[in-house]
Amino acid sequence: MKTSALLIAVVPGLLASTGAIAQSSVTLYGIIDQGVNYISNAQSIDASAHRVSRTQYTTSSTVMAGNQLGFRGVEDLGQGYKALFTLETGFDIGTGKFQEGGTFFGRQAFVGLSAPFGTLTLGRQYDSVVDFLRPLSAAAAGGGGTFTAHGNDIDNFADTYRTNNAIKFTSTSYHGFVVSGMYSFGGVAGSVSRNSIYSFGASFANGPAKVAAAYLKVRDPNQSFFGDNQLSSTTANNLGATTGVQGNPVYGGFASASTYQVVAVGGQYGTSMFSVGANYSNIRFGSLGDPASGTLSLTNPFGYSGNAVFNSYAAYVRYLVTPAVILTGAYDFLTGGAIDGKAPAHYNQFNAALHYLLSKRTDIYCLGTYVIASGTDSTRQSSVASILTVTPSDSARQFILRFGIMHFF
């Protein structure tokens, strides 16, 4: 009892004195993006319960950048060591609702330690594809936002999906070279691999040139990756409806995969005035028809077995016309998905944007995206155009024109 009393008396004083020495800070930050969209073709249901294509006018958030409110904290522990955390939530400014499937801190939530040789973090985090290839994609470096995502973000370059229960290490830069690795624990009793995720990546920067590569492997993706949000289902297809008004015809029919794999490389060359980049990704939905994916009548309504493989080839350009005017352009060709006698699908996607910077923190922009589809998509229908965050078309073509405003704080 005396020892306990002594600890109760002394420990708070020690913590208080340590806090007085350490330098710490907490930063509040965020992004708000909202705009008005014209969509040439969007799936709808008519009075006879038939699916038809109609013009649609909408407002939406999180297109040029993800709406977010974040808290970032750092405490200096001395000798080059720091404690850190990030808590970041996504929200829809049009409705006030949480994004990321209703998850409160759905964008990021982690705590960790930083040392002279690297940083170790634990929590809900981005995988290595996002960390290394998103900065070399049209969505980020190209200034095109989520409408430039490859095939409804089939390779996760636009960070649609996060990783729960992850431990990640990222090295400091050694002469421009950075490496990182991440592992997510599935947490299933009796199975180490069930629902587990791992990824690793590397980048090298030298002056105006930068290259990167990353690998991602997900087990039971309908549960562990596509379905890692609060409102996700343990039985249904977490990639969206495959009938009626569809959610994701590009790869929604492959939710029963036992594994999901992405191999990606990219490069960029440029300055603050002009930059050009290109990237490639190989996406594999392995061993379709896995009962662990959920209710197979929902996750595999077309009875697929085997592997569905896609390849994406993309390029982008960014040009600073004046200090206040930026022009961007991007192109992506996505092909694949042939399985069980089903022909592959092909998607040609063209993007262009004009940005006008009212200040360092406020940007108004005009963004256009046009998609041409062909072949047979994952739902065994003639491929329809489909763009991330937008209702898919009921035909092979879709055009979107958006006027928006984005503010950083």
Render 93-122 in DSSP notation, one character per residue: TTT--BSTTT-TT-SEEEEEEEETTEEEEE
How far out from the chain centre does Cα 382 lie? 27
**Based on the structure, what is the number of domains in the chain?**
1
CATH number of residue 99's parent domain:
2.40.160.10
Share of the chain above pLDDT 90, in %: 90
Give the residue-averaged pLDDT of 381-392. 96
Question: What confidence score (pLDDT) does residue 48 get?
Answer: 87
9, part of any domain: no
19, part of any domain: no
How far apart CA 234 and CA 222 sit, in angstroms, is 8
Question: What confidence score (pLDDT) does residue 69 get?
Answer: 97
Render 223-251 in DSSP notation, one character per residue: HHTTT-STT--SSS-TT--SSSS-S-TTT
Question: What confidence score (pLDDT) does residue 22 get?
Answer: 62
Give the residue-averaged pLDDT of 74-85. 97
372, part of any domain: yes
Tokens of 201: 């990546």
How far apart CA 367 and CA 161 sit, in angstroms, is 23
110, part of any domain: yes
14, part of any domain: no
Tokens of 162: 């996060």
Range of the domain at 198: 24-408
Question: What confidence score (pLDDT) does residue 308 get?
Answer: 98
196, part of any domain: yes
Pairing of strands 274-288, 209-219: unpaired
How far apart CA 396 and CA 172 sit, in angstroms, is 46
How far apart CA 319 and CA 51 sit, in angstroms, is 41
How far apart CA 119 and CA 103 sit, in angstroms, is 25
58, part of any domain: yes
3, part of any domain: no
Using DSSP, state whether 324 is helix, strand or coil: coil
| pLDDT above 90 for 14 | no
Residue 132 backbone dihedrals phi, psi, to 5 degrees: -105, -30
How far apart CA 345 and CA 156 sit, in angstroms, is 19
Q: What is the pLDDT of residues 90-136, one digit of tens each?
A: 999 999 999 999 999 999 999 999 999 999 999 999 999 999 999 99
Q: What is the pLDDT of residues 192-228, one digit of tens each?
A: 899 999 999 999 999 999 999 999 999 999 999 999 9
Residue with tokens 């594999």: 284
Question: What confidence score (pLDDT) does residue 2 get?
Answer: 41
